[in-house]
């Protein structure tokens, strides 16, 4: 049986490359010292911002370092450290750790010094569990004024 599609070479779906002066695939960027210096300077300044101004990837990096330092200081097991990092990542995604009030970040040291809503518990098996307390807005009700059943005061003429 003869296949008609295989008989002639097909020129369909072929990408033609144009050789032009805009092709930068072979350019060595390390020769541009001003560009390299600018990139190095920007990379050094990335963590010198307040916590609420850092990008998500930089915050994740700082949370990972915080969990490692916290585990060393408290003598946590690797499973406990990973559960702490997982909890912090979830809370960052839920925007619980976005405010500068919940995370104390030292700009000079470029590290997290404290996470205010972080709470540790130890269960009966001796494992340490972590929890982030979420702030809930409290609802307050106005007291009813004396002399009226529904709280509204009416004047009598």
pLDDT in the model for residue 19: 56
Element holding 86 (H helix, E strand): helix 78-93
State how far the alpha carbon of 59 is from the alpha carbons of 6, 22, 48, 50, 83, in Å.
55, 37, 12, 11, 17
User: Across the chain, what does the average pLDDT equal?
Assistant: 82
Query: Which tens digits make up the pLDDT trace of 50-76?
Result: 999 999 999 999 999 999 999 999 999
pLDDT of amino acid 91: 95
**What is the C-alpha separation between 83 and 129, in angstroms, rounded?**
8
d(Cα 54, Cα 107) in Å, to the nearest integer? 11
What is the reported pLDDT for 34? Answer: 83
Over its C-alpha atoms, the chain yields an Rg (Å, rounded) of 30
> By three-state DSSP, how is residue 113 classified?
strand
**pLDDT average, residue stretch 12-34:** 65
pLDDT of 4 over the 70 cut = no
pTM of this prediction exceeds 0.75:
no
Q: Chain-centre distance of CA 148, in angstroms?
A: 52
| Res 10: pLDDT | 60
What pLDDT, in 10s, does the model give residues 95-129? 999 988 899 999 999 999 999 999 999 999 989 99
Asked if the model's pLDDT at residue 31 lies above 60, the reply is yes
Give the model's pLDDT for residue 59. 95
Confidence at residue 14, expressed as pLDDT on a 0 to 100 scale: 67
pLDDT exceeding 90 applies to what percent of the chain? 52
The 10s digit of each residue's pLDDT in 126-150 is 899 999 998 776 677 777 677 666 5
């Amino acid at each position: 049986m003869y296949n008609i599609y295989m008989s002639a070479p097909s020129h369909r779906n072929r990408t033609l490359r144009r050789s032009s002066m805009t092709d930068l695939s072979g350019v060595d960027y390390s020769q541009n010292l001003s560009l390299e210096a600018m990139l190095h300077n920007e990379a050094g300044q990335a963590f010198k911002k307040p916590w609420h101004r850092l990008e998500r990837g930089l915050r994740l990096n700082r949370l990972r370092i915080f969990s490692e330092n916290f585990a060393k200081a408290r003598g946590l097991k690797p499973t406990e450290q990973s559960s702490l990092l997982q909890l912090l990542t979830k809370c960052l995604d839920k925007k619980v750790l976005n405010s500068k009030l919940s995370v104390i970040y030292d700009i000079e040291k470029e590290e997290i010094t404290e996470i205010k809503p972080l709470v540790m518990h130890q269960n009966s098996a001796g494992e340490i569990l972590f929890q982030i307390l979420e702030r809930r807005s409290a609802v307050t009700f106005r007291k009813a004024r004396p002399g009226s059943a529904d709280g509204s005061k009416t004047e009598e003429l």
